A and B are shown apart, each in its own frame.
Chain A
């Protein structure tokens, strides 16, 4: 058997029988290293080098800032501002759900964490206002997918580390597509609101005074996205440094300003955060052995040559990549999908002239979208768990409500400027 076939077949077999993803990646690589008579030391060395990178330190900080802020109960503060902004629209609470989701995704780097945080506030609140629980859970799940697109974003850091693309440019590039996703969801909420006559939260626009009050309440937590984005845009900080400032800032806000987090809870929070990010990075370590083997057997070149023999049109290739990612996202979680397939598709895309940052943002968007689809839709599962609705019941509506997100993804895939505009304006030297 060719070592490559062995690599891919054994990986699939290990994953299917239930070996954890990180161990499957390492074990199939070990198998090939053993069969091909390569030194076993290569495996450990690659695993170590995969993790030994200062840029990856952004990950613990993003995890920490998100956890600290969620633990410190900031969602309610964001609700007041969102209520003043969009509460007067028909279906006000649905719009507020989307806007708070947008704010939250600027604070935490994880869609799943956002789904839990948004769901716990909005599922009960929307039920009280007479919304159908299937609608509120589906909307919460859709809203939460912005979490991985708007910075900070854990998937963007993982993507940048895997593909060797500037993490800062990826993070900035995610802003506009993330906002477009939010606008798409608000447009859809409006259509639903008109059709089913959802209530307004207050009869008319509350005025700038109310918005100012809301801004004052939400100012501290919303400092996080500002620090991260402005720190990088000013060219002052690297993404890792911005992330560390955001982490310290969120600790300051919850411990000192709001006093909503007690110092005695801190050791447990820190330990749990470490455990969360350690398994992500252990997967990354396993994936770097796997990626090294792919490169060793020149798989990226093979795939590139194979595909470019059919077409060299970047638009066709981009559509192909989106379709592959949607299919992958259905069967796989976002993290392993990115770790396994990005080393293969990245060289292909660069060869035909797709910008690496454009590709990165599209892949992260599509993978984040895949978190809605069963059987492995972590975000949909979390929203259902928080809202207390079985997965089966939301399927039909969720698949309809996913359409605007898909439209935004295709739009961003076909129009590179939607992704590249902000990085070009703000951080041109990172592109």
Chain B
């Protein structure tokens, strides 16, 4: 009745996953320290933004790929997220571009 067999036959797999979770956790801690440390350098805004964004992207990807198992997800989920990413990019970029002191174009 309760399908216990389906629940624990992935034990070996899970052990591997758990090792990855711990590694990712350590990486995230390190990257957090790094991003705070770099911020203390008070670099010029454009450089500071780029570096902070890069670190955040790495951290975010680690959480997404390993904690959220995105790295082994199905194509359909990738399709939905890809579409979302495209519209997210449009939403962030286009309004700013329409202002006279937007990124590049006037």
Mutual binders A and B: no
